[in-house]
Amino acid sequence: GAVVSQHPSRVICKSGTSVKIECRSLDFQATTMFWYRQFPKQSLMLMATSNEGSKATYEQGVEKDKFLINHASLTLSTLTVTSAHPEDSSFYICSARGDRGYGYTFGSGTRLTVV
Amino acid sequence: AQSVTQLGSHVSVSEGALVLLRCNYSSSVPPYLFWYVQYPNQGLQLLLKYTTGATLVKGINGFEAEFKKSETSFHLTKPSAHMSDAAEYFCAVSDQGNTGKLIFGQGTTLQVKP
C-alpha cells in the first residue's frame, strides 16, 4: 500500500532556530501534499496545501513566511519552521494524495518542541 | 464551506459493548467522508471512507459507517469493542477532490473498560 515516511519523528530545538520536516512518498507520486498541525487533545488543523512544482496555498491565519513549504518533486515535500518559538511546539503531520486513486496517506507525524 | 461535528469528545464503553461514534457534516457539494483512528504520537490510519455507491461502508478492524444524506450523518459503529480500540477517532469530509482538502472534526476519544 501507499506509504509516506515523515522525519524526524521528534525534534527539540532552541528558540530562534529553524527546523525542517520531511515527508516522502515511498511507492507513489504525491501530486498534492497537505500539512497539518495538531495541538494536544485537539483536532488536525490544515496549514497549507502544496502541489508539486507550484507555490503552497496557505490557510487563513497561517504565516507563510514562518512555515515554509517546498514541494519540489513528486516524492518529497518539506515544511520548515523558521525562527521557531515555544508557541510553535506542536505535532505536525503531512498527508499525501497521489496517482493511485482517491485517497490520502498520512505520515507518522513530527513532535516539535521549542525550548 | 465544509465542516464536521463529532458529538461527544469522550466516549467510554465496556469491552464487548457496542461502539457508536457520532459524526455530522455540512457540505455544499456531495461529500466524501472518512473515519480515521490515531494512536498516541502517531499519524492517522484510515478506517473507512465513503465516496459514492453503497451507503453502508465496511472498514478495517470490524468498523462500519453509514452515510445518511437526509440526516447529514456518518456515524461509526462496531458491534463489540476490544481493548485495542481505545484511541482517538476523527471524522473528516472532503469536497470530492475539488481542492482535495480534508476537514476534520474535533475528534472523539474512545475509552474501553475491561
pLDDT tens, residue by residue, B11-41: 999 999 999 999 999 988 888 999 999 998 8
Q: Does B32 touch chain A (CB under 8 A)?
A: yes
Rounded distance between C-alpha atoms, residue A51 and residue A33, angstroms: 6
How far is residue B48's CA from residue B60's CA, in Å, rounded to a whole number? Answer: 7
Q: Which residue of A has its CA nearest to B35?
A: A104
Q: For Cα atoms A91, B81, B42, give the angle at the middle one, nearest 5 degrees.
A: 15
* Cβ contact B103:B4 at 8 Å: yes
Nearest Cα to Cα of residue B23 among B60, B52, B63, B66? B66
> Band of the pLDDT at A20, cuts 50, 70, 90?
very high
**Exposed e or buried b for every residue in A29-39, given b needs 16+ CB within 10 A?**
ebbbbbbbbbe
Which residues are registered as beta bridge partners of A65? Answer: none
pLDDT surpasses 80 at A100: no
**pLDDT value at A4 more than 60:** yes
Q: So what's the pLDDT on residue A99?
A: 66
Nearest to A94 by CA among A72, A75, A110: A110
**What is the count of residue pairs from A and B with beta carbons less than 8 Å apart?**
48
Q: Which residues of B touch A34 (CB under 8 A)?
A: 100-102
What is the model's pLDDT at position A17?
A: 97
B70: phi > 0 → left, psi -120 to 50 → alpha, else beta; which? alpha
Contact B90 A108 (CB under 8 A): no
Q: Is A98 on the interface with B (CB under 8 A)?
A: no
Best CA proximity match to B63, nearest among B84, B40, B42: B84
- Written as one letter, the residue type at A26 is L
What is the model's pLDDT at position B42? Answer: 84
- Mark the ranges of chain B whose per-residue pLDDT is less than 70: 96-99
Hey, are the CB atoms on A104 and B90 less than 8 Å from each other?
no
CA distance A32 to A51: 5
To the nearest whole angstrom, how far is the Cα of A76 from the nearest Cα of chain B? 18
Strand pairing category for B87-94 and B108-113: antiparallel
Partner A contacted by B102 (CB < 8 A): yes
* CB contact A46 to B (< 8 Å): yes
Predicted confidence at residue B28, as pLDDT, reads: 80
B7 reaches A (C-beta below 8 A): no
How far is A16 from chain B, CA to nearest CA, in Å? 25
CB B4 within 8 A of CB B108: no
